[in-house]
Amino acid sequence: MELEELPNIGATTAEKLRDGGFNSIESIAVANPAEIKEIGGIGEAVAAKIINAARDSMEMRFMTGTEVLEKRKTMKKIPTSSSALDELLGGGIESQAITEFFGEFGSGKTQIGHQLAVNIQIPDEETGIGKSVIYLDTENTFRPERIIQIAEGAGMDPESVLENTIVARAYNSDHQMVIIDRVESVIKEKNVGLIVVDSLTSHFRADYTGRGMLADRQQKLNRHMHDLQKLSDMHNLAVVVTNQVMARPDFFFGDPTTSIGGHIVGHSSTFRLYLRKSKGGKRVARLIDSPSLPDGEAIFSVVKEGIRD
């Protein structure tokens, strides 16, 4: 359903709303009247009507517990190539969920993204998955050469792995959101089982600087996460996002996630892993606030072949 189909929205208002990041009926339904008023350039009463109409038009999906269980049975787990990390995650990175890797620079977030881009493609007979990957690269750190190395390390054909790695470069936060908004056809066409967003937050930080813009930024990030969550749910795919945060050793046993963007992201990710550098080039992943798994830590390393114990 298009925005224009809602009452009180003409072509001009629809365009303004889209420019402001309201791309879908759902995004309107969860908005508040003040933002719709401001972005759409309309009166508050009209804004409220539009939001109500958006809510009314949304299909309400109720499921029985049995149906939820059936759906969870179709859930896949992508192995990470580190048995310690797999164990921490209860088997691997889950589909129908968002997993966030956050940590300081060089903590291994991008390397894990590359490893998972390869591992989602491990043939179906071994993992029950064997799908392709969309790699949303915001920092220009995607390296096909590294994919080749990791694929070789996994005993896979590097050429075919690269062929099934679909890369999108996002140049700013709006671009990033539009890519996710338009990605559905690619998901179906290429049988995508994993979306990597590396980094989730860097453009949002750059594009919304200053105090006054904090609320806008969080709202946009929230919507972006919501779009990703919906894709993971509808297509039984895994979403993996990265988020750079400053190392704060002094603060470590408090909340290491108080950084910019951390709060909103924290509430919509299903699994959150905090990565930190450790002695001898080792990396430590700590699982935080998982709804279904015990908190704990895993040690892994980044080697030529990719991620290993």
92 or 108, CB closer to ligand GTP?
108
Between β-strands 271-277 and 283-288, what pairing exists: parallel, antiparallel or unpaired? antiparallel
201 or 290, CB closer to Mg ion?
201
- For residue 292, give the amino acid letter: S
31 or 147, CB closer to ligand GTP?
147
- By a kind-dependent CB cut-off of 5 to 8 A, residue 283 interacts, out of Mg ion, ligand GTP, none, with none
16 or 143, CB closer to ligand GTP?
143
| Binding residues for ligand GTP restricted to 141-180, rule: CB under 6 A | 141, 146
108 or 256, CB closer to ligand GTP?
108
CA distance 47 to 111: 45
| Binding residues for Mg ion restricted to 91-110, rule: CB under 5 A | 109-110
102-110, 166-174, 189-197, 261-269 -> range binding ligand GTP (CB under 6 A): 102-110
55 or 282, CB closer to ligand GTP?
282
Q: Does 304 bind ligand GTP (CB under 6 A)?
A: yes
User: 261: burial class by Cβ within 10 Å (0-12, 13-18, 19+)?
Assistant: buried
CB atoms within 10 A of CB 175: 14
| Binding residues for ligand GTP restricted to 273-302, rule: CB under 6 A | 302
Nearest distance from C-beta of residue 16 to Mg ion, angstroms = 35
Nearest distance from C-beta of residue 63 to ligand GTP, angstroms = 37
Nearest distance from C-beta of residue 210 to ligand GTP, angstroms = 23
| Binding residues for ligand GTP restricted to 103-122, rule: CB under 6 A | 103, 105-111
What would the two tokens of residue 262 be? 């951390």
Using CA atoms, how far residue 164 sits from 112, 135, 168, 232, 264, in Å, is 17, 10, 13, 18, 32
Q: Does 246 bind ligand GTP (CB under 6 A)?
A: no
Residues that bind Mg ion (CB under 5 A): 109-110, 141
Residues that bind ligand GTP (CB under 6 A): 103, 105-111, 141, 146, 244, 302-304
